[in-house]
Amino acid sequence: MGVVVVTRRLRVWGLLGALSTLTITYAAVLPEDRADLLYHYYSGGGVTISGPSLLVRKQVGQNFSLVANQYMDYITSASIDVMSYASPYKEQRTQQSLGVDYLNGKTTMTANYTSSIESDYKAGTTSFGVTQSMFGDLTTVTLGYSRGDDIVGQSTDPTFAKPVTRQNFQLGMSQIFTKSFLMNFDLETITDEGYLHNPYRNVRYSDGGTGYTLQSEVYPNTHISNTVAVRGKYYLPYRAAAEAEVRGYGDSWGVNAVSGMVGYTQPAWDDWILEFKYRLYNQGQASFYSDLFPYKDAQNFLARDKELSAYSYNMITAMASYEFAKGGWSFINKGSVNLSLSHFQFDYRDFRDITVKGYTAGNEPLYKFSSNVMQFFLSIWY
């Protein structure tokens, strides 16, 4: 049974947005011509996701740059959600996107369309943006808008098809402060409307004794969120860079979150670039979340999605890049081979592991898990 619990099914647009999001530069230039072939591997919490991604960008004429991406996920899931309510499953998702950048003077306009298809979820997102460089190219302002129209399906019912409409409103600014220091400021408002919960996921409520019973989750039909992020990067007195990021989030479901990241980039041995990052994330729970409701239909909205509970995670990343053909070779201007490894540790404060037997309802151990992410990719510039 293709039970998809990974809530994130309903957030597939997030990846769509990632590739269709505006590219912020600090001067009015088109992105470099390059091609990247990436293999990604995620493992943790009973879930394994891997697959390739190919991104190709090519300038056409003096004013246009085209970009295309093909991305695939091969998913094997025995996550705690799946093991709590259903059976492990395998799934495949294919995402394709095509975009264009148009440069006119100090202004860059972008358009992008992305589609994502899996057996029980289809998404299509169209994005537009405009970037204006000003004040001697010290300041760059970006406005963006995207709209996604998704169809939520269900593997056990081929007639099940519920629409979701998503809209993203983005405002960004990049500012050069000194010859070694720059900052980015981002604001993003996202609105969702439609079928926003997961057709497979359940909540649980007390049976009045020591056990519990399941019922389907119920979410509001609208979701509005606001996010603000500030990033800074500093070129150190020797050739290396330090960066930091703070991001705050709040939404109409009562979830508030804050994250922070620090990073350090160090070139080494002429051809290598080493990079290290640490990220900390912390969030509070949604107003209608409960690990164990007191009785059936205890309130109008019901959620037991662990990503709507209170939790935190820590992440460390190490990445190494080796640059080759820096003097050019054949049609290639330069190339790089890159390996990135990340480790996450998640700790939930009010989401209990109900797959552990021998406990009364509400007294199971709190859930925690770790995951590892690997990226290996080849890049060439031409």
Q: Between residues 86 and 182, which has the closer beta carbon with respect to other proteins? A: 182
Interstrand relation of 241-251 and 121-134 (parallel, antiparallel or unpaired): unpaired
Under the binding rule (CB under 8 A), the answer on residue 135 touching other proteins is: yes
Rounded CA-CA distance 174/157 in Å is 48
Q: Which residues, at least 6 apart from 106, have a Cβ–Cβ distance to it below 8 Å? A: 28, 132, 133, 134, 137
Rounded CA-CA distance 174/229 in Å is 12
Q: Which residues, at least 6 apart from 45, have a Cβ–Cβ distance to it below 8 Å? A: 79, 80, 346, 369, 371
What's phi and psi for 327, nearest 5 deg? -90, 5
Q: Which residues pair with 118 in a beta bridge?
A: 121
Under the binding rule (CB under 8 A), the answer on residue 55 touching other proteins is: yes
Please pick, from the candidates 184, 198, 206, 290, the single residue that binds other proteins as defined by CB under 8 A: 184
Q: Between residues 161 and 316, which has the closer beta carbon with respect to other proteins? A: 316
Please pick, from the candidates 43, 59, 115, 342, the single residue that binds other proteins as defined by CB under 8 A: 342
Minimum distance, C-beta of residue 359 to other proteins, in the bound complex (Å):
26
Judged by CB under 8 A, the chain residues 238 through 267 that form the site for other proteins are 239-241, 243, 245, 247, 249, 255, 257, 259, 265, 267
Minimum distance, C-beta of residue 159 to other proteins, in the bound complex (Å):
28
Residue 126 CA: distances (Å) to CA of 68, 287, 346 = 14, 31, 33
Please pick, from the candidates 22, 152, 196, 292, the single residue that binds other proteins as defined by CB under 8 A: 22
Under the binding rule (CB under 8 A), the answer on residue 26 touching other proteins is: yes
Under the binding rule (CB under 8 A), the answer on residue 36 touching other proteins is: yes
Minimum distance, C-beta of residue 69 to other proteins, in the bound complex (Å):
8
Under the binding rule (CB under 8 A), the answer on residue 6 touching other proteins is: yes
CB 169 within 8 A of CB 188: yes
Q: Between residues 188 and 364, which has the closer beta carbon with respect to other proteins? A: 188
Under the binding rule (CB under 8 A), the answer on residue 374 touching other proteins is: no
Query: Could you tell me which stretch among 16-24, 80-88, 151-159, 206-214 binds other proteins (CB under 8 A)?
Result: 16-24
What's phi and psi for 7, nearest 5 deg? -40, -35
Query: Rounded to 5 degrees, what angle do the CA atoms 267, 378, 23 make?
Result: 75
Rounded CA-CA distance 271/325 in Å is 10
Amino acid type, 124: G
Amino acid type, 48: T
Under the binding rule (CB under 8 A), the answer on residue 281 touching other proteins is: yes
Please pick, from the candidates 4, 5, 21, 153, the single residue that binds other proteins as defined by CB under 8 A: 21
Q: Which of these, 89, 96, 55, 56, lies nearest to 74 by C-alpha position?
A: 89
Binding residues with other proteins: total (CB under 8 A): 79
Please pick, from the candidates 286, 292, 354, 361, the single residue that binds other proteins as defined by CB under 8 A: 286
Minimum distance, C-beta of residue 206 to other proteins, in the bound complex (Å):
25
Minimum distance, C-beta of residue 306 to other proteins, in the bound complex (Å):
9
Judged by CB under 8 A, the chain residues 293 through 312 that form the site for other proteins are 307-308
Q: Between residues 137 and 353, which has the closer beta carbon with respect to other proteins? A: 137
Under the binding rule (CB under 8 A), the answer on residue 143 touching other proteins is: no
Q: Which of these, 187, 184, 185, lies nearest to 169 by C-alpha position?
A: 187
Q: Between residues 38 and 298, which has the closer beta carbon with respect to other proteins? A: 38
